[in-house]
Amino acid sequence: MNELIMAKYGEIALKGLNKGTFEDILVKNIRRRLRHCGKFHYMRKQSTIYIEPVGECDLDEVIEKLKVIFGIGALQRCAVFEKDFEQIKSQGVPYLENALKNAKTFKVDAKRSDKSFPMKTPEIQAELGGAILEAYPHLSVDVHNPEITVMCEIRDKGAYVSAERIIGAGGMPVGSSGKALLLLSGGIDSPVAGYMMAKRGAIISAIHFEAPPYTSDRAKMKVEKLAKIITAYCGDINFFCVPFTEIQELLRDNCPEELFTILMRRLMMEIAQRICEKEDIQALVTGESLGQVASQTMYAMVCTDAACRMPVFRPCVGMDKSEIVEIARKIDTFDTSILPYEDCCTVFTPKHPKTRPNLADVEAAQNAFDWEPYIQKAIEGTKPYLIKNA
């Protein structure tokens, strides 16, 4: 008996004429993620991608990989039979044992796209349902709210039987919504922000500002590790690590203390967007959440955004910390994020940062110093490298 996996579209199914473009990207992403799992034959039909192993492979591993690919709404692991009802019954019913042995109720949902198949849909449902009841007498049928829905599809190339529906990652395929540069700190919020933008189809690059010797190598390694973890969702990440010490020291020595944080953030944004312009990236992403700290008040965000020529996406902006933590746990970044290494943002932070900075004051303070040579130097010292999805 052969098995295959059906990957059913999430939101792509709702697309109109341009659906094909999204499908192409999704199939490309799936091929890339499964490249080390074996050989597969791919077929697309009716908002579903059929992934059929050619030769040996570990389907559990394949499912684990597929579960984190954005664009897939649901996964279904199925047995493939000849289009012969006796075979479907005799082999399909035992195949379902694992899924059915601990359930109480089920129903059969049949689809017959091959109209030459001699039985009609209600007949398939009734006959297969009867055979299941006979084999598993502890079950009863519940057509409205079954615990398990057994699927039986009669299609061009064969009959598919399945009872295992796994929820997919949802979202849009990575690569279908442009490129974004994630400001990645070692904290809890920014990896979550990157995950959320990748979920909407953005290709994520990451930029990290380090301030040695105030920040350590281990702090940087922690950030690289976070980037590595989210590659499971985002795919490979181009990583930019900016030497930021000199700018921070200059800020400390030349600016009003209470404006230190906001000026630092504006300079981070300036460097980030110059890299975007060079790399053809369209937007910035941060892990900011409204009101979380002094630099994340609306007044502060106004002052930060005034330094930006491109959109700044803040997918965590409306979320509580507990909601962000929940996602961080789900995507497995939380335990790394809480490791206690310093971030450049916590170096030289003022005791009393302004929560209502005034844009004119901020701009005046920034313009009182010529930052340009230092910005350029920081960019020149930034050597990008690829963090690969294992």
Contact call for residues 12 and 22 (beta carbons, < 8 A): yes
Among 163, 288, 353, 382, binds ligand ATP (CB under 6 A): 288
Token pair listed for 68: 């984190």
Residue number with CB closer to Mg ion (92 or 187)? 187
Token pair listed for 183: 């400001």
288 binds, among Mg ion, ligand ATP, none (CB under 5 to 8 A by kind): ligand ATP
Runs of H (alpha helix) within the chain: 19-33, 59-66, 85-95, 97-100, 121-135, 189-199, 217-234, 245-254, 260-279, 298-305, 321-330, 334-337, 359-367, 372-380
Can you tell me the distance from the alpha carbon of 243 to that of 116, in angstroms, rounded to the nearest whole number?
68
Considering only 3-11, 65-73, 113-121, 183-191, which stretch makes contact with Mg ion by CB under 5 A? 183-191
Contact call for residues 1 and 91 (beta carbons, < 8 A): yes
Least separation in angstroms between CB 338 and Mg ion: 11
CB neighbours (10 Å) of residue 27? 18
29 sits near ligand ATP (criterion: CB under 6 A): no
Contacts (CB under 6 A) with ligand ATP, residues 52-81: none
Beta pairing, strands 148-155 & 158-167? antiparallel
Contact call for residues 230 and 198 (beta carbons, < 8 A): yes
185 sits near ligand ATP (criterion: CB under 6 A): yes
Among 10, 168, 175, 187, binds Mg ion (CB under 5 A): 187
Among 29, 48, 177, 185, binds Mg ion (CB under 5 A): 185
208 sits near ligand ATP (criterion: CB under 6 A): yes
Can you tell me the distance from the alpha carbon of 319 to that of 194, in angstroms, rounded to the nearest whole number?
15
Least separation in angstroms between CB 271 and ligand ATP: 10
Can you tell me the distance from the alpha carbon of 43 to that of 22, in angstroms, rounded to the nearest whole number?
15
Among 286, 304, 333, 366, binds ligand ATP (CB under 6 A): 286
* Residues paired with residue 105 on neighbouring β-strands, in sequence order: 140
231 binds, among ligand ATP, Mg ion, none (CB under 5 to 8 A by kind): none
304 sits near ligand ATP (criterion: CB under 6 A): no
191 sits near Mg ion (criterion: CB under 5 A): no
Which residue number places its CB atom closest to ligand ATP? Answer: 187
Least separation in angstroms between CB 292 and Mg ion: 10
Contacts (CB under 6 A) with ligand ATP, residues 350-379: none
177 sits near ligand ATP (criterion: CB under 6 A): no
209 sits near ligand ATP (criterion: CB under 6 A): yes
Can you tell me the distance from the alpha carbon of 33 to that of 77, in angstroms, rounded to the nearest whole number?
18
Q: Could you list the residues that contact ligand ATP (CB under 6 A)?
A: 183-185, 187-190, 207-209, 286-288, 292-293, 295, 343-345
Q: Could you list the residues that contact Mg ion (CB under 5 A)?
A: 185, 187, 343
